[in-house]
Amino acid sequence: MKKTYKIEVDCANCANKMEEAAKKTAGVKDAVVNFMTLKMNVEFEDGADVKAVMQDVLKNCKKVEDDCEIYI
Amino acid sequence: MTKKQKKVLIRIIIAFLLLVVLHFVPVKGWLSLVLYLVPYFVIGYDILKKAFKGILNRQVFDENFLMAVATVGAIILGEYTEGVAVMLFYQIGELFQSYAVGKSRRNISELMDIRPDYANIEKDGKLEKVDPDEVEVGSIIVVKPGEKIPIDGIVEYGTTTLNTAALTGESLPRDAKEGDEVISGCINMTGLIKIKTTKEFGDSTVSKILDLVENSSSKKSRSENFITKFARYYTPAVCYGALALAVLPPIVSLIIGFDPAWNQWIYRALTFLVISCPCALVISIPLSFFAGIGGASKEGVLVKGSNYLEALSEAKYIVFDKTGTLTKGVFEVAGIHDAVIPEDKLLEYAAYAESFSSHPISRSLCKAYGKEIDQTRVSDVNEISGEGVTAVVDGTSVAAGNIKLMKRLGIECKECGNVGTVVHVAVNGSYAGHILISDQLKQHTKQALEELKKLGMKKLVMLTGDAKRVAESVAKEVGVTDVYSELLPADKVSKVEELLEKKPAKEKLVFVGDGINDAPVLSRADIGIAMGALGSDAAIEAADIVLMDDDPLKISKAIHISKKCIRIVYENIYFAIGIKIICLVLGALGIANMWAAIFADVGVMVIAVLNAIRALNAGK
């Protein structure tokens, strides 16, 4: 399943770091962060609990970039 | 400017003024340090905070951390002004970047400002504004002059002129009257119309297009992936380089008995750190693509991802479907030949004789005639299937049809040297001339193919299901290099596969079709371009690049835009990496100081961003 989220982040490199962090989160099959449109496309593993996974994604993103936000 | 940006701007101004004042204040030693720390914290407190949090989260090579180390290091070495200045310029760079990005984001969303905010629904004689999402299929909506059509539908009442510029980039208005299909996103210019919706808002053209544009850059190009990778290695590499620079030369000097000059080498290492931020690259490459895609959509060319824009710039082979792509796909009168009576009279007779027939040829005759047909003037119509029609028009007997009909009537006729369907006309039993009807080339087809050749295409191939003779004559006229005729839809796929196999992988093959029946070929080619896609969902789905109207000139325009965009991307890559490497070398040799480093870092970023924004106007 794929979902798109709006994000808030200030720099392009930070967006790349968020993408890395989101990709590494368990339950996420693939993630693409688009800094220009401020969007994160997340593809979830089959049967993943989207809400819980997104909480983890947010937590991991906050770790690499303190100043970011994902509108879940 | 946003609130956040304004706050940063104020901090920059304060820090700058303080720095200038301190430059003229004659204090030395501890007092000086304390005084310099004031502007330092004003400008850098958030960076220091982020750096500290970064360490806690084990994010060592984060630019905040690097900036913090470089500036704190400089201050410890006693270079107060430089320490503060580096932080100041870094913030100026960040501010500029966020402002420029925000501005181009807005620019591009304005370009695609086709999202309708509301739909008018008539209720108890009054108009009510509702969310387009809530309008059900089959509802009647009212669109006043000046408003956007929110949902696809059919005109129930009224006539008007529509402006499709936002969708197609085409400034010529279109007329719409009762019974016409209209698509969302057009602007109603002149009259009030009532529309019966045929789709939900989510399935309407405007939603499809917005969806496509907004999700366009989720497919990243090779250049973007390269930069992401580069950034991942560049920063750590420069940091280790800085560490080595700080430690190795002094130790070597110590061993061979020279003065280690710790301060000098540490200063050079800190200079390294200042250059270590890959910002210029990381921001300018996606920005170039984003601007390029935005600029293309302004021209009515929708690109589904930056990877396709990149691939398009490498296009060398273009395969066209004939009907609907190079030609209009509708039959029209192409000429009147060997007429022994005035040409318009000949056409009038033919149109009248054929006026009762619904055959496409008959319809194209009536269309070419152009005037209202008064059917009372026609009598004794006799349609001979597969041959033509005989009738009496204004008391004159008229026969219109093919050679077989003429032979049956014993009338000698002249062969037509051109390709197409020929309607011979006999008036009062004697030959009056013939009318040539053929699928017309689009207005700009020839010009478009010439442009493509100028852009360096190696092969222009035409595929068609038509007969060889027709295909070859069209091919010759428009100037394609190769033509394959009498193909079934499946043959087109295998032909494209054959061409794909023969060409080198670096040279891309583009297939251009009208989206009808050619979805498999569109997806098989390196890049599938669907044209005239307005309203055709299948084409929007299958293609990688969608041309909103059916003008073949848009193909060369799209390639032109892609080439310009890629050129900007490469300019930025070479420029940014080049300047950084030069500064690293000069920094290591002690020629470039921290001032040069910060100018290299921020200056390169500013120039790269400004250059990237140029891609927005690539269509001009």
Residue in this structure with the two tokens 């800094």, named with its chain if needed = A35
Q: What is the pLDDT of residues B596-608, one digit of tens each?
A: 888 888 888 889 9
Using the Cβ of A12 and the Cβ atoms of chain B, whether some distance falls under 8 Å is answered with yes
Does residue B235 lie in a domain region?
Answer: no
Structural domain tally of chain B?
A: 4
For residue B616, give the 3-state DSSP assignment.
helix
Question: Which tops the pLDDT comparison, B453 or A48?
Answer: B453
Q: Clarify whether residues B75 and B164 are in a common domain.
A: no
The enclosing domain of B437 has a CATH number of: 3.40.1110.10
Q: Clarify whether residues B111 and B124 are in a common domain.
A: no
In the predicted structure, residue B564 carries a pLDDT above the cut 90 = yes
Does residue B364 lie in a domain region?
Answer: yes
Using the Cβ of B215 and the Cβ atoms of chain A, whether some distance falls under 8 Å is answered with yes
Mean pLDDT of B508-519: 83
Under an 8 A CB cutoff, do B220 and A38 touch?
no
Mean pLDDT of B105-126: 78
Does residue B229 lie in a domain region?
Answer: no
Residue B323 per-residue DSSP state? B
Average pLDDT of every residue of chain B = 85
Which residues of chain A are within 8 Å of residue B104 when distances are taken between CB atoms? 36
Task: Please name which of B212, B215, B221, B211 lies closest in space to residue B286, comparing C-alpha atoms.
Answer: B221
Confidence of residue B567 (pLDDT cuts 50, 70, 90): very high
Mean pLDDT of B87-116: 82
Q: Clarify whether residues B397 and B414 are in a common domain.
A: yes
- Nearby residues of B242 by Cβ (< 8 Å), 6 or more positions away: B269, B270, B272, B273, B276
Under an 8 A CB cutoff, do A32 and B228 touch?
no
Q: Clarify whether residues B462 and B569 are in a common domain.
A: yes
Q: Clarify whether residues B429 and B553 are in a common domain.
A: no
Torsion, CA A58, CA A61, CA A65, CA A69, rounded to 10? -30
pLDDT at B536: 65
In the predicted structure, residue B516 carries a pLDDT above the cut 70 = no
Q: Clarify whether residues B303 and B425 are in a common domain.
A: no
Using the Cβ of A45 and the Cβ atoms of chain B, whether some distance falls under 8 Å is answered with no
Angle between helices A50-64 and A12-24 (to 10 degrees): 140
Does residue B377 lie in a domain region?
Answer: yes
The residue segments making up the domain with residue B96 are 1-115
Token pair for B193: 């119309």
- Nearby residues of B513 by Cβ (< 8 Å), 6 or more positions away: B320, B321, B324, B325, B521, B522, B528, B529, B530, B531, B539
Q: Clarify whether residues B457 and B503 are in a common domain.
A: yes
Does residue B602 lie in a domain region?
Answer: yes
Under an 8 A CB cutoff, do A39 and B59 touch?
no
Confidence of residue B182 (pLDDT cuts 50, 70, 90): confident
Q: Clarify whether residues B192 and B253 are in a common domain.
A: no
Question: Which tops the pLDDT comparison, B335 or B556?
Answer: B556
Q: Clarify whether residues B347 and B484 are in a common domain.
A: no
- Spell out the SS3 assignment of B213-272: HHCHHHCCCHHHHHHHHHHHHHHHHHHHHHHHHHHHHHHHHHHCCCCCCHHHHHHHHHHH
pLDDT at B601: 85
Mean pLDDT of A47-69: 87
Q: Clarify whether residues B422 and B520 are in a common domain.
A: no
Domain boundary residue, one of B115, B132, B153: B115
Which residue among A17, A37, A66 places its CB closest to the CB of B214? A37
Which residue among B97, B218, B278 places its CB closest to the CB of A34? B218
- The region, left, alpha or beta by phi > 0 then psi within -120 to 50, assigned to residue B169 is left
Between strands B193-197 and B140-143, the pairing is antiparallel
CATH code for the part of the protein at A2-71: 3.30.70.100
Residue in this structure with the two tokens 């400034």, named with its chain if needed = B171
Residue B132 per-residue DSSP state? G
Question: Which tops the pLDDT comparison, B214 or B290?
Answer: B290
pLDDT at B57: 77
For residue B192, give the 3-state DSSP assignment.
coil
Confidence of residue B111 (pLDDT cuts 50, 70, 90): low
Token pair for B254: 């110590």
The enclosing domain of B586 has a CATH number of: 3.40.50.1000
Under an 8 A CB cutoff, do B105 and A4 touch?
no
pLDDT at B535: 53
Does residue B228 lie in a domain region?
Answer: no
Q: Clarify whether residues B435 and B451 are in a common domain.
A: no
In the predicted structure, residue B464 carries a pLDDT above the cut 90 = no
In the predicted structure, residue B217 carries a pLDDT above the cut 60 = no
Q: A57 to chain B, minimum CA–CA distance in Å?
A: 15
Beta bridge partners of A69: A8
- Nearby residues of B274 by Cβ (< 8 Å), 6 or more positions away: B66, B67, B70, B86, B594, B597, B598, B601
Which residue among A11, A16, A64 places its CB closest to the CB of B228? A16
pLDDT at B216: 63
Does residue B231 lie in a domain region?
Answer: no
Does residue B227 lie in a domain region?
Answer: no
Would you say B435 and B341 are in contact if contact means Cβ atoms under 8 Å apart?
no
Torsion, CA B223, CA B228, CA B230, CA B231, rounded to 10? 140
Domain boundary residue, one of B410, B441, B472: B441
Token pair for B535: 């309203």
Interatomic CA distance for residues B506 and B463, integer angstroms: 23
Confidence of residue A8 (pLDDT cuts 50, 70, 90): confident
Beta bridge partners of B546: B302, B530
Task: Pick from A3, A37, A38, A68 the residue to mutate for testing the B interface (most B CBs within 10 Å).
Answer: A37
What share of chain B in percent tops pLDDT 90?
A: 16
Q: B287 to chain A, minimum CA–CA distance in Å?
A: 7
Using the Cβ of B217 and the Cβ atoms of chain A, whether some distance falls under 8 Å is answered with yes
Among the ranges given (B99-113, B257-271, B528-542, B555-569), the one the predictor scored with the smallest mean pLDDT: B528-542
Task: Please name which of A15, A1, A27 lies closest in space to residue A64, comparing C-alpha atoms.
Answer: A15
The enclosing domain of B191 has a CATH number of: 2.70.150.10
Domain boundary residue, one of B418, B441, B464: B441
Which residues of B are known to be catalytic? 321
Q: Clarify whether residues B474 and B553 are in a common domain.
A: yes
Would you say B197 and B137 are in contact if contact means Cβ atoms under 8 Å apart?
yes
Token pair for B514: 């009208």
pLDDT at B13: 93
- Nearby residues of B510 by Cβ (< 8 Å), 6 or more positions away: B312, B315, B317, B318, B319, B525, B526, B527, B528, B529, B555
Among the ranges given (B7-16, B203-212, B303-312, B342-351), the one the predictor scored with the smallest mean pLDDT: B203-212
For residue B510, give the 3-state DSSP assignment.
strand
Under an 8 A CB cutoff, do A38 and B105 touch?
yes
Would you say B345 and B435 are in contact if contact means Cβ atoms under 8 Å apart?
no
Would you say B123 and B135 are in contact if contact means Cβ atoms under 8 Å apart?
no
Beta bridge partners of B423: B435
pLDDT at B537: 67
- Nearby residues of B106 by Cβ (< 8 Å), 6 or more positions away: none
pLDDT at B573: 92
